[in-house]
Amino acid sequence: MQETPKKAEVQNIVASTRFTDSLDLNAIVGILEGSEYDPEKFPGLIYRIKEPKTALLLFRSGKANCTGGTTLSEVRESVDIVAGKLLKAGIPVERHPVITVQNIVAVCDLGAMLNLNNIATSLGVEHLEFEPEQFPGMVYRLEDPKVVCLLFSSGKMVLTGAKSVEELDRAVESIAEVLSGSGFL
C-alpha cells in the first residue's frame, strides 16, 4: 500500500449543541454584541466571533449550530464563549453543553495529476459521478466511512460528510489505496 501523500486539512467543522430548552432571541440580540436577528429573513440569531473565527446560529428551541471552526477545540471555545455571555446576562443555559459534529469539510492533495476519464472508465459508475461538461470534478462516494469526495485532475480533492478527523484520514487512505491499486497514483 502506498503511504498517503498528505493528510486532509480541515477547512470547516459544522457542529450542533443545545444550550437550553428555549431561548428568547429578541432578548439575546441585545446581549450578544453585533449579533443579527431578523426572523422574517431567517429564524435564527447569527453571532459571529472574531477569535476563533466562527459563527453560531442560535434558535428559539435552545439549539445552536457552530460553523467555521477548523478544530474541535475552536468549536468548544466558541460554544463556551456564547454560554458564558448568556450566563453572565442571567440567561440560564448549560455552561458546557454537549457538542455533536455534523459535518467536516477538508481538502487534500494526492500529489499527482489524475486522468479522471480513465478513472471513471476503470472504476465504473457504482460510486462515481463524472460529467466533465457539467462539473470539472469527479464525485466519489465512499461507503465506509460515509464521506463524499470531489476529486480533481490536479490531484486535489475536497472531502465532506465526515464526523471525525479519523474518518477523514480513513477516507483519504481508502481513496489513495483504490487509485494506487488501479495504477492511477
pTM equals 0.89
Strands (E), the chain: 9-18, 45-49, 54-58, 63-69, 99-109, 128-129, 138-141, 148-151, 156-162
Q: For residue range 144-159, what is the model confidence (pLDDT) as tens digits?
A: 999 999 999 999 999 9
Q: For residue range 10-36, what is the model confidence (pLDDT) as tens digits?
A: 999 999 999 999 999 999 999 999 999
Per CATH, the architecture of 104-181 is what?
A: 2-Layer Sandwich (3.30)
Superfamily covering domain 20-96:
TATA-Binding Protein (3.30.310.10)
Grid coordinates given for 46: 447569527
Length of the chain: 185
Q: List, by residue range, all CATH 3.30.310.10 domains of the chain.
A: 20-96, 104-181
3-class SS of residue 68: strand
